[in-house]
Amino acid sequence: MPHYDLVVIGSGSGNSLLDERFNDLKVALVDRGIDNGTRDLGPTEPGVFGGTCLNVGCIPTKMLVYPADLAISGQESGRLGVGLPPGTVDWPAIRDRIFTRIDGVAEGGLDWREQNPNITVYRGEARFTGPKTLGVAGGKITADRFVIAAGSRPHALSVRGADDPRVHTSDTILRLDKLPETLVIIGGGYISAELAHVFSAFGVRVAIISHSGALLRREDADVSRRFTQVMSQRVTVRLNQTLMRFESLEDRIVTVTTDSDGVEYEYESDLVLNATGRVPNGDRMNLRAAGIRTEEHGLIVVDEYQRTNVEGIFAMGDVSSPFQLKHVANHETRVVQHNLLNPKNLIAADHRYVPHAVFSHPQVASVGLTEKQAHDRDLTFVTATQDYGSVAYGWAMEDTQHFCKLIADPKTGLLLGAHIIGPQASLLIQPLIQAMSFGLGVREMARGQYWIHPALTEVVENALLALPLD
């Protein structure tokens, strides 16, 4: 039975962990791979190397968002006096441009890892068979230390007809041979919001069906409400409906839902996208055999140093993080790297102010508490909302829909939360993240530096100044 100094499970952030500082260790890298829908994988056949973000997540979806933004630019230019021809979409060209680049990176990453003299790559599903003993590729391996970075997978629908090949997930829909004419999206979260933007911009008639009363319901209520309003102007949005089943209708598929009164609705489409979220892969690894503790929903429990309850076993990324964000996984990778290399000088992960962004149209970005969360914690707080159209650049854009909302402690002058909906939201949020992370007060931030005029960042400056502090 081969024994290693270190076993890393997962080829996304887990692969990134293994830099030159680990060259003197005997390492095993174990990876089942990602099922990206390009072929039918057998029970033991590995998927593509490189993890979720590279193959089916952040990178390819944002490479789709950018041309989608370009495709709909003509729809918004007319009111500013610019007549643009209707966008034409060459789907195979867009798809192939993206995945020719991504597949090359994935294949090159695997080739490079297999050439590392101190690293043995195992391609297969990892399951613990006992304490610090892993079953993989038909055999068993042991190690002194483990890092579990096995990621997550799309949440599976449990209704009749969910196994229809026309029901896709975000993992499988990105490489379609051709665009459908119609698409039903199940779910109202960020995956739904981003891919509804992409496919509708490319000319697909999209319907979003959500069981909740608003899209992006985990955002601040004002942002969620505005996003729902704006997205409803582009695609069909049906809220407060429960998915019941799928029915086959020749070459199309029918999505059947009910509302709170039990009334059934039917939505006929070419394809369906299951965008109901992702679940951690820890439940596939027989963690109990290794004595590793998990939460109710399958997340591996870790402490501030990313250690599990079993000495020598760390976990990071989607398999142990409720955030399911690549920048969180990157941060945790740096923490685990340090702690593996410096076991007597551990550093803690900092999850105080984790930001996120939704790359839809409009963009949404957030950090810290929503107004409801501040209420629920019985905090004393004040808010300020600044419209894009109230500053020079937003006025030039004739913007009437987007805003920056801030939440602050009136006594300390510190930000509690920041929420932006509109163009460049994912960029505009960054100085607010920095202020919260380093304890910079609202007034010091607003008046202690220059804000370029007439840049759109003035919407952040003016929101800071509008907060009614003590």
Q: Return the active site residues.
A: 453
Residue 374 has phi, psi (to 5 degrees) of -65, -40
Could you tell me what percentage of the chain is helix, strand and coil, using 3-state DSSP and rounding each to the nearest 5? 35, 25, 40
d(CA 358, CA 231): 13
Angle between helices 190-201 and 221-232 in degrees, nearest 10: 20
CB contact at 8 A, 392 and 458: yes
Burial 74-102 (b: 16+ CB within 10 A, else e): eeeeeeeeeeeeebebeeeebbeebbeeb
Cis peptide upstream of residue 362 (ω within 30 degrees of 0): yes
DSSP 155: P
Residue carrying structure tokens 């009363």: 213
d(CA 396, CA 399): 8
28's tokens: 């095993």
d(CA 310, CA 136): 20
Q: Measuring CA to CA, how many Å separate 386 from each of 191, 281, 449?
A: 27, 41, 19
Q: In what order do the strands lie in the sheet with 403-408?
A: 356-358, 364-368, 415-421, 403-408, 382-387
